[in-house]
């Protein structure tokens, strides 16, 4: 396994990775921080492939966790089990560059911060579209455990653990490709749609639980706004077809959430599978619904 060229930080760091069926990417993720972290914990959500075996082979502690809808919450047992105060949180498709690790070493060493917003470069659909993805996207992925509200995290999608009051948060300057968190996400349209289906299902359920039990006409404007923001405001048009499809995918994502809430309203708050939907259609035909 290749080691990063960055010097290890002055204070020990634990890596926590959340994974499910990531046998193709987990090794690259773990190799990117070999020699930089002194503990690796992989929280495995019932993988049916070799993810857990690869992680163990590479020296990681593997914690098994049931597969849950609000999957971000599954990171919590891994963070609580970590022996170090400094935590680096990654997904299996993320790899910090040596240049970023060197900057992190310096920031941890001078004791001036408690949480770090890392610059992330999202690579997807076989390439790189910097305007569509608005590089750098900043994400809080490194922190002192003692300065974060870990157990209070509700696991809502696209949210993260919150710093406690008084925590010092710093944004790390980034450059592509030398000093950033490389995110190899949605490599092709097939995985993109699979993830879109998974994420929009969870978001629809969360909105339903929060009281949104039917679509509002204004919701139909949101997909258009997302497309125009990513394609025109962010300059996605400069990324060619790549930018167009990413903007379109963002719009479809928002539309699917609205569509799934509408489906749930037809089935008493449950997102129907094919048998449930067919049963309702037969009831309509028979006049019993």
* Alpha-carbon gap, residue 118 to 33, rounded angstroms: 15
Domain boundaries, the chain: 13-184, 189-286
* Alpha-carbon gap, residue 140 to 149, rounded angstroms: 13
pLDDT at residue 212 greater than cutoff 80: yes
Report the predicted TM-score, pTM, of the whole model to 2 decimal places. 0.90
72-76, 112-116, 153-157 — which is least confidently predicted?
153-157
pLDDT at residue 142 greater than cutoff 90: yes
Cα atoms in the Cβ-side hemisphere of radius 13 Å centred on 2: 10
What is residue 9's predicted lDDT score, i.e. its pLDDT?
81
* 180 exposure class (CB count in 10 Å sphere: 0-12, 13-18, 19+): buried
Copy the structure tokens of residue 263: 């489906």
Q: What is the mean pLDDT of the chain?
A: 93
268: cis peptide before it, omega within 30°? no
CATH of domain 13-184: 3.90.550.10
pLDDT in tens, 81-105: 999 999 999 999 999 999 999 999 9
pLDDT at residue 117 greater than cutoff 70: yes
Percent residues over pLDDT 90 in the chain? 83
pLDDT in tens, 168-205: 999 999 999 999 999 999 999 999 999 999 999 999 99
136: cis peptide before it, omega within 30°? yes
Helix, coil or strand: residue 197: helix
* Alpha-carbon gap, residue 88 to 9, rounded angstroms: 12
Residue 211: phi, psi to the nearest 5?
115, -5
pLDDT in tens, 231-249: 999 999 999 999 999 999 9
Q: Predicted confidence band at 4 (pLDDT cuts at 50, 70, 90)?
A: low
- Given its phi and psi angles, is residue 137 left (phi above 0), alpha (psi -120 to 50 degrees) or beta? beta
pLDDT in tens, 8-58: 787 899 999 999 999 999 999 999 999 999 999 999 999 999 999 999 999
């Amino acid at each position: 396994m290749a080691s990063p060229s960055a010097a290890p930080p002055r204070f020990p760091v634990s890596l926590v990775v959340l994974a499910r069926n990531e046998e193709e990417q987990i090794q690259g993720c773990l190799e990117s921080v070999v020699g930089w972290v002194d503990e690796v914990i992989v929280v495995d959500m019932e993988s049916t492939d070799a993810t857990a075996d690869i992680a163990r082979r590479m020296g990681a502690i593997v914690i098994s966790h049931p597969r849950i809808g609000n999957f971000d919450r599954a990171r919590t047992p891994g963070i609580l089990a970590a022996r170090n105060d400094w935590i680096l949180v990654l997904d299996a498709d993320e790899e910090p560059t040596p240049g970023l690790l060197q900057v992190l070493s310096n920031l941890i060493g001078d004791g001036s911060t408690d949480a770090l917003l890392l610059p992330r470069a999202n690579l997807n659909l076989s390439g790189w579209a910097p305007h569509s993805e608005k590089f750098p996207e900043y994400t809080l992925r490194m922190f002192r455990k003692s300065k974060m509200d870990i157990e209070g995290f509700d696991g809502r999608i696209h949210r993260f653990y919150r710093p406690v009051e008084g925590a010092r948060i710093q944004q790390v300057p980034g450059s592509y490709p030398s000093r950033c968190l490389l995110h190899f996400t949605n490599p092709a349209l097939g995985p993109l749609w699979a993830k879109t289906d998974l994420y929009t299902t969870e978001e629809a359920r969360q909105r339903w639980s929060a009281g949104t039990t039917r679509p509002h006409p204004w919701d139909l404007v949101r997909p258009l706004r997302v497309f125009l923001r990513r394609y025109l405001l962010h300059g996605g048009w400069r990324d060619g077809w790549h930018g167009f499809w990413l903007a379109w995918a963002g719009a479809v994502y928002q539309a699917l959430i609205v569509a799934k809430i509408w489906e749930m309203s037809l089935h008493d708050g449950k997102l129907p599978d094919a048998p449930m939907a067919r049963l309702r259609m037969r009831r309509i035909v028979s006049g019993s619904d």
